[in-house]
Amino acid sequence: ANGARVPVLVVGTGYGGSVTALRLAQAGVDVHMIEMGMAWDTPGSDGKIFANTTTPDHRSFWLRTRTKQPLSNFLGFPIDKNIPKYTGILDAEEFAGIMVYQGRGVGGGSLVNGGMAVTPKRENFAGILPSVNADEMYSTYYPRANAGLGVTSVDQRWWENAPCYQYARVGRKHAQRSGFPFVFVPNVYDWDYMKAEEAGTVPKSALAGEVIYGNNAGKKSLQKTYIAQIKSTGRVTITTLHKVTSVAPAAGGGYTVLIDEINTTGDTVATKSVTADRVFFAAGSVGTSKLLVKLKATGALPNLNNEVGKGWGDNGNVMCGRANHMWDATGKLQSSMPTAGIDNWAAGGAFAEVAPLPTGIETYASFYLSITNTPHRAEFSWNAATGKVDLSWQTAWKQTSINMAKTIFDKINQKEGTIYRTDLFGTYKIWGDHLTYHPLGGAVLNKATDNYGRLHGYPGLYVMDGSLIPGNVTVNPFVTITALAERNIENIIANDL
Ligand code: FDA
């Protein structure tokens, strides 16, 4: 409530925020979580909480009047369409050089992501977070994160014959024929539920193609794991459709937090002020970076250091499709939950997830989201003229990622006698190089913060999300974000409370 004083305020309810709130609550601290998106706990008029991938509606996008689908075209036709403006689940946030996709609502990115739960290879960890003790991460915090998230591996015997993974088996065949390591990757989907979907005994979710606009069943989003545990502590309140706009030192100690209450068309309906002893920034890489850069530049938190806003990367994301021969059908039924990838990281700097194209029709296409070892890092800065935060990412930087992805797909195309699809991202455009699903960095660990996320210059302010990670994790990021948050909050509880 307006004017309240609270011990802990957490900005955002994604991975970093959920770990923070759970562990503090278990340590006996009362926690208030503030989330700008919706609760996503109430079915719409169609009886479902979330819209299907093939039929986006007002629930699908964050405050847009037209969809901005990652694949903008299909067989030469643009597929975006008008929708009512609403505080929907997927934010396609536009910066000058890149579109950053993010989840909005209680659970953050866990609401919209593909559930791929990948622990980076140990040999790569020193390059990801050089100041963090790898032994501790791999013995304690990665296992804790994997357990908390409900990560499991697909039953490979079932996978070998499941029609919904034909696309992945085609992906394996092509990878192996070209000599690339094909690796299974864990996921947070409930595999028993997927088998029941296949048997027709439960409502379909992954097998109905649900993913980027939410899964109505089967996927263990944070709502079913960390946030369910948070609720059972009885010590955490979650306030939705509230957006934190400012944090500044309060006269009597602690921090004054300004919060806009918004309605479902995004208008501010009330502004509230709360005083918090401690504030944990967990608004995601973009959300946290935007707040910190603005607060430093506008004088609310002038003592933040010059590392704030720096070290941002796109995890090297680039997408592409390949056109297969007619004898390599990928199947009209495709599970929306990826299970595998092609690992050419050491040799070519690319790890490609074998992704579905859940269109419901046979496309003869193989589709991939590559994570690449790009060196490019951008910086957020405050633009006083527009009153917004800009990002210095250059579209041309994606060419490095394309070249790395080509180390895999040029070779496969040559071996198979196939070509790239040119119809998925526009007319005659092969590469989805305008976007990222994996924003990382902007308040890098041991630079903008100490080695555990304490912001330099302001005791009681912390960063707990993907902005701590300097731009790349070599694989999909949420397990590392969760594990790092588990590590940091343990240290903070032991030393600061
Ligand atoms: P996250 O973004 O999860 O949470 C931040 C929360 O803060 C959001 O709920 C946001 O609304 C809220 N917020 C922001 N600003 C605020 C403010 N000012 N006030 C109040 N609230 C605010 N990763 C992976 O490992 N495997 C995968 O398969 C995929 N797949 C995938 C698909 C798609 C389509 C997307 C968009 C992303 C993925 N990801 C993924 C990425 C993964 O989801 C992402 O890395 C994490 O969600 C990031 O976790 P954080 O805790 O950093 O923030």
pLDDT, tens digit, 9 for 90 and up, residues 85-141: 999 999 999 999 999 999 999 999 999 999 999 999 999 999 999 999 999 999 999
Q: How confident is the prediction for the chain on average, in pLDDT?
A: 97
pLDDT of residue 211: 97
What's the pLDDT at 427? 81
Q: Which of 93, 197, 353, 486 is catalytic?
A: 353
Question: Any residues with CB less than 8 A from the CB of 193 and at least 6 apart, and which?
Answer: 202, 205, 217, 218
32 a catalytic residue: no
- At 313 the three-state DSSP class reads strand
* Residue of the CA atom closest to atom 29 of ligand 1: 113
Q: How far apart are CA 95 and CA 386, in angstroms?
A: 13
Distance from Cα 299 to the centre of ligand 1, integer Å: 28
Can you tell me the distance from the alpha carbon of 107 to that of 18, in angstroms, rounded to the nearest whole number? 8
Tokens of 258: 């300004």
State how far the Cα of 209 lies from the Cα of 336, in Å rounded to an integer. 5
Cα–Cα distance, 487 to 382 (Å, whole number): 31
pLDDT at 112: 98
Question: Which one is catalytic: 174, 242, 434, 438?
Answer: 438
For 453-481, what is the mean pLDDT?
A: 98
Per-residue pLDDT at 2: 83
Strands 350-355 and 340-344: antiparallel
What is the pLDDT, as a whole number, of residue 73? Answer: 86
| Average pLDDT over every residue of 204-229 | 98
* Cα gap 134→468, rounded to integer Å: 16
Q: Are 79 and 69 in contact (CB under 8 A)?
A: yes
Query: What is the mean predicted confidence (pLDDT) over 246-257?
Result: 97
Q: Would you report the helix, strand and coil content of the chain in percent, each value rounded to 5?
A: 30, 25, 45
- What pLDDT band is residue 426 in, cutting at 50, 70 and 90? confident
Q: What is the 8-class DSSP label of residue 395? A: G
- Atom number in ligand 1 closest to CA 101: 36
Does residue 143 surpass a pLDDT of 90? Answer: yes
Supply 379's token pair.
């910086």
Binned at pLDDT 50, 70 and 90, residue 6 comes out as very high
Which has the closest alpha carbon to 180: 324, 317, 348? Answer: 348
Q: How far apart are CA 421 and CA 76, in angstroms?
A: 11
Burial of 2 (0-12, 13-18, 19+ CB in 10 A): exposed
**Is it the case that residue 76 has pLDDT exceeding 80?**
no
Residue 186: its pLDDT value, please?
A: 98
Any catalytic annotation for residue 486?
no
Ligand 1 pocket mutation pick from 113, 242, 368, 475 by most atoms within 8 angstroms of CB: 113
CA atoms in the 13 A half-sphere facing the CB of 374: 31
Q: Which residues pair with 239 in a beta bridge?
A: 34
Q: Ligand 1 centroid to 160 CA: how many Å?
A: 32
Arithmetic mean of pLDDT, 310-327: 97
Strands 365-372 and 419-420, sheet pairing: unpaired
What is the CA 326 to chain-centroid distance, rounded?
34
- Which residues fall within 8 angstroms of residue 192, CB to CB, at 6 or more apart? none
Q: How far is the CA of 68 from the centre of ligand 1 (A)?
A: 17
Q: If you average pLDDT over residues 305-329, what whole number do you get?
A: 97
Question: 33, 8 in Cβ contact below 8 A?
Answer: no
pLDDT per residue as tens digits for the range 319-354: 999 999 999 999 999 999 999 999 999 999 999 999
Mean pLDDT over 279-289 rounds to 99
Please list every protein residue whose CB sits less than 6 Å from any atom of ligand 1.
11-16, 34-37, 101-105, 108-109, 112-116, 212, 243-244, 282-285, 287, 291, 437-438, 465-466, 476-478, 481
How many Cα atoms within 13 Å fall on the side-chain side of residue 350? 27
Please spell the DSSP secondary structure of 145-188, one letter per residue.
Answer: HHHHHT-B---HHHHHH-GGGHHHHHHHHHHHHTT--EEE--BS
Give the Cα separation of 287 and 466 in Å (integer): 10
**Which residue CA neighbors atom 26 of ligand 1 most closely?**
116
Helices (H), 324-420: 345-348, 398-416
CA angle 21, 371, 329 (to 5 degrees): 115
Tell me, in angstroms, the distance from the centre of ligand 1 to residue 403's CA: 27
Contact predicate 96/111, CB 8 Å: no
Q: Are 313 and 472 in contact (CB under 8 A)?
A: yes
The answer on pLDDT for 1 being more than 80 is no
Mutate to test the pocket of ligand 1, among 9, 15, 67 (most ligand atoms within 8 A of CB): 15
Atom of ligand 1 nearest to the CA of 104: 11
pLDDT of res. 74: 82
